[in-house]
């Protein structure tokens, strides 16, 4: 990963979060975007986590 501040990096983080959550038996989560707009990196992270199996 070349950059840690772009949408591709956020997508990797989303995949990793989903993987680690499923390893611990967590499948349903609440996604609090903390006031950030739902686009760009925030959207990439959420979409990747959903695709990897998390439900929120």
Task: State how far the Cα of 43 lies from the Cα of 7, in Å rounded to an integer.
Answer: 8
pTM for this one?
Answer: 0.85
- State both tokens at 24: 């611990």
Task: State how far the Cα of 18 lies from the Cα of 24, in Å rounded to an integer.
Answer: 10
Q: What is the reported pLDDT for 13?
A: 96
Q: With CA atoms as reference, report the closest residue to 11 among 53, 52, 55, 56.
A: 52
Q: Per-domain residue ranges for the chain?
A: 7-51
Q: What is the reported pLDDT for 43?
A: 94
Q: Cα angle at 30 between 26 and 33, to 5 degrees?
A: 130
The per-residue pLDDT for range 9-36, each reduced to its tens digit, is 999 999 999 999 999 999 999 999 888 8
Is the pLDDT at 1 greater than 80, yes or no? no
Task: State how far the Cα of 56 lies from the Cα of 49, in Å rounded to an integer.
Answer: 9
- The class (CATH top level) of 7-51 is alpha beta
């Amino acid at each position: 990963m070349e950059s840690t501040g772009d949408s591709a990096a956020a997508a990797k983080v989303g995949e990793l979060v989903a993987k680690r959550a499923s390893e611990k038996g967590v499948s349903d989560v609440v996604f609090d975007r903390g006031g950030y707009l739902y686009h760009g990196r925030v959207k990439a992270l959420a979409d990747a986590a959903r695709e990897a199996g998390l439900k929120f």
